[in-house]
Amino acid sequence: MAGKDNAHWIAGINAVAAALENDPDNVREIMLEARARNPRLTELTELARTHGIATRTVASEVLDRLAAGVRHQGVVAQYSAARSLDENDLAVLLESAPAPLLLILDGVQDPHNLGACLRSAAAAGATAVVIPRDKSAQVNATVRKTSAGAADRIPVVRVTNLARTLESLKQAGVWLVGLAGEATQDLYAIDLKGTVGIVMGGEAEGMRRLTREHCDFLARIPMPGDIESLNVSVAAGVALFEAVRQRLAG
């Protein structure tokens, strides 16, 4: 739930802990369930106090309302989100890494999938995750909780026109590798050691036509088992860590 000053409530022990550990300057207040006895809530209270963040206890009903359907586990935090990144920030991000690795998501609409993708991207040391402003899940309380803190660690760039952004990335020297089940080339046969953007489609339709046309390569993940496709967050993890494997191997 967002406010006029870009502040909103995040819910759940892991989500609040991640915000306190990674971005305490933007945590404004912690609310805890009055009758909760979870020792982790005591730890969060102490951590908040070390950062000078106010805490108070409230009835469970108050937390239910603020969490807006997210399982709060007895704690919510008012969080002032950092400035949203956009197309203009991509050039700076690309310059910040010797071999940038981007995860580009074309219309992932399930916030749990987006959160899992952010977690995999952060674990793989990706430079940024790129998502469209429209027809895509955005970074909300559910995404933050599912990402287990990754939403506070990895830049998420929201772009107005994904096709135009892909063209700009290509002009900047980024090789775009799109994952598609019907592709004839295996992912493992593609060089992912340079400046690479891994492009994933949405849950239902996959990559849109313009997105597909902007990719330099289309690749598939070999699946010898009797399953036609993987969940988008699982596929993103496989592709990201294949890039990690190649880069570590030199």
pLDDT band at 179; cut points 50, 70, 90: very high
Note the pLDDT tens digit of each residue in 205-234: 889 999 999 999 999 999 888 777 789 999
Q: Would you state the CATH architecture of domain 87-249?
A: 3-Layer(aba) Sandwich (3.40)
pLDDT band at 142; cut points 50, 70, 90: confident
Strand partners, 177: 198, 217
Tokens at 194, concatenated: 């340079």
pLDDT band at 18; cut points 50, 70, 90: confident
Q: Residue ranges of the domains in the chain? A: 7-80, 87-249
Task: Please state, as a whole number, how many other Cβ atoms lie within 10 Å of the Cβ of residue 41.
Answer: 20
pLDDT at 69 over 90: no
Taking the C-alpha atoms of residue 245 and residue 38, their distance in angstroms, rounded to an integer, is 40
Question: Picking from 64-73, 82-91, 167-176, which range would have the lowest pLDDT averaged per residue?
Answer: 82-91
Note if the pTM is more than 0.75. Answer: yes
Phi, psi (5° rounding) for residue 186?
Answer: -75, 145
Strand partners, 32: 57, 75
**What is the CB-side half-sphere exposure of residue 72 using CA atoms within 13 A?**
25
Largest Cα span, the chain: 58
Same CATH topology for 7-80 and 87-249: the answer is: no
Q: What is the CATH number of domain 7-80?
A: 3.30.1330.30
pLDDT band at 5; cut points 50, 70, 90: very low
The predicted pLDDT at position 7 comes to 63
Task: State mean pLDDT over 34-43.
Answer: 89
pLDDT band at 26; cut points 50, 70, 90: confident
Residues 6+ apart with CB under 8 A from 247: 99, 192, 193
